[in-house]
Chain A
């Protein structure tokens, strides 16, 4: 049973048309002409309980707008969203308790006060029983290592620490669904890794459904089995990460360190450098084992490796194809 169902989702923003020429500012203020921007343009997908879905796309593709409609902050222009049987923007208070939300760009913590206070307030807002709150706080202190900065005012936290605090705040009341909008933006490698480990563990241990928007493909490769690729408000691809690679980048490369190699049957030489040769092949037509055997039979090889296509280059190609 899907826990999130999105059908024909459309969101248009309208704002007064910018006027040109003399008194442009004033005329923009007075004009009745509206410029309509379709941020989300007919999106369909469903998410099953316990799935981890990467919602991927370049800047301005409509990721955040979609998340805002899923969480109930925005009402769509048309289409439907059902989260655990309820419409988020109608059934607000019920929906609120089921979902945890982290926006990478805006914290839900109280700037002037220690992190500890924010967590306490959230436990009250979501009426978490006192004992459960203490237990959760202890768990998070452990897995997210909040201990050292639990009593530091949030404004003094580093971005990585703040994100960990935000994650704890979002999961404090045990929601079934976690929405993450660019959770790793601006973080260093170690901080990113820490967030990913936490989210992955959460999903494995508690079956939390995770929808993650990002333009960092490492987030997706590490966490998600499935990605939804969005471009100009439309779904460009929805499916498994591996399948995306086979569909859009069917070729693998065999890199061989060898003395002399002119050609091999079933593969194409695409590059030569420093005594290495790159051979491109289609693993469906030429099984890797056969190719390797063929190369080894005819050449003296000192080193050899097979290179998988990077998700990044795959996605570049998809966007390039779509124009």
Chain B
């Protein structure tokens, strides 16, 4: 009936625990797939690029008008302000609450069943995919940067320390944002009526991240709320580090807050997933 020799050679090695190295390779592969997938949406990609350049230019014009000839407002120079606006606009390509998680779509299309079959955990697949998708913005940023400098909207980092801390803060921002997205995406395991809530979330997240108005211009109570929410870690923190609004120990503290959010959101995501998984596996994907 069956050829034992043939079946023996066909048997793949089955180890219960997989070494961390191969898990990382698998996650990187997920990220690379989504990176490529993001690039296939060329028109969306190019138009977002054009919109960004336009936005940077408009922001420099708007802030200049708002400053109305004054060199400083609340101890803040116009160049710092335009640089902040430019920086947050650029960062926003990479760290944005708009394309946060593919989960709701995968639930709707019934693809979660397939995801559950993989030897890699579902949250790990989704998170690496999300990071890959987001990093498709990097080429755009590399092209936009010289443009920003050219129209005088950019500025060098405030100090060497700021220059080194900035990439770390940016990665922190990316992780906080993607964990928030993962959590939100998992809500679709309970209800597919997420689009309204998602819209509200995006506006709240964008506002409190400081991407529109820097935290230092927010009125007292609003600012206090922003500081206690995770969103500021996604936009304000890296920009403030870059521009030297926080310095020395302040940088360490800001990165520490990001790390704390990453841990807290990571733990929450693991908890929510354990509930979601139980639900999917008893109700059907």
Contact = CB atoms under 8 A, between A and B. Distances in A.
B33 interface: yes
Given A121-B33, A127-B25, A71 B117 contact: yes
B33 A208 contact: no
A277 B2 CA distance: 44
Contact of A94 (B16, B30, B281): B16
B70 interface: no
A48 B7 CA distance: 13
Interface in B33-68: 33, 36-37, 40-41
B111 interface: yes
A246 to B, nearest CB: 22
A113 B40 contact: yes
B212 to A, nearest CB: 31
B281 A117 contact: no
B161 to A, nearest CB: 38
Nearest to A39: B284
B277 to A, nearest CB: 10
A302 interface: no
B14 A97 contact: yes
Given A68-B284, A74-B281, A106-B113, A97 B12 contact: yes
A250 interface: no
B114 A108 contact: yes
Interface in B1-15: 1-4, 6-7, 10-12, 14-15
B281 A89 contact: yes
Contacts of A13: 283-284
B74 interface: no
B282 interface: yes
Contacts of B120: 93, 125
A278 interface: no
A103 interface: yes
A193 interface: no
Nearest to A170: B117
Contact of A207 (B4, B12, B41, B114): B4
B276 interface: no
A29 to B, nearest CB: 11
A299 interface: no
Given A106-B109, A175-B12, A207-B3, A120 B29 contact: yes
Contacts of A174: 10-12
A153 B33 contact: no
A176 B146 CA distance: 55
Given A73-B113, A98-B14, A106-B114, A125 B283 contact: no
Interface string B86-128: 0000000000000000000000011101101111100000000
Given A73-B285, A97-B119, A106-B110, A153 B10 contact: no
B2 A50 contact: yes
B16 A127 contact: no
A208 B10 CA distance: 9
Interface residues of B, number: 40
Contacts of B274: none
A72 interface: yes
A93 B119 contact: yes
Contacts of A207: 2-4, 6-7, 10
Contact of B1 (A50, A72, A89, A107): A50
B118 to A, nearest CB: 5
A89 B18 CA distance: 18
Contacts of A153: 40
B1 to A, nearest CB: 5
Contacts of A267: none
A125 B119 contact: yes
Contacts of A140: none
B22 interface: yes
Contacts of B246: none
A117 B26 contact: no
Contacts of B1: 48, 50-51
Contacts of A117: 33, 36
Interface string A113-150: 10001001100111110000000000000000000000
A18 to B, nearest CB: 17
B26 A125 contact: yes
Contacts of A93: 16, 18, 119-120
A49 B7 CA distance: 9
A198 interface: no
Contacts of A263: none
Nearest to B118: A125
A176 B11 contact: yes
12 contacts: A50-B1, A73-B116, A92-B119, A97-B14, A101-B117, A106-B110, A107-B114, A113-B33, A125-B118, A127-B22, A207-B4, A208-B7
8 nearest A-B residue pairs (beta carbon): A50-B2, A207-B2, A124-B29, A207-B7, A96-B119, A93-B119, A127-B22, A108-B114
Given A74-B284, A93-B120, A126-B119, 10 more contacts: A13-B283, A50-B2, A68-B113, A74-B281, A75-B282, A89-B281, A103-B114, A113-B40, A124-B25, A174-B12
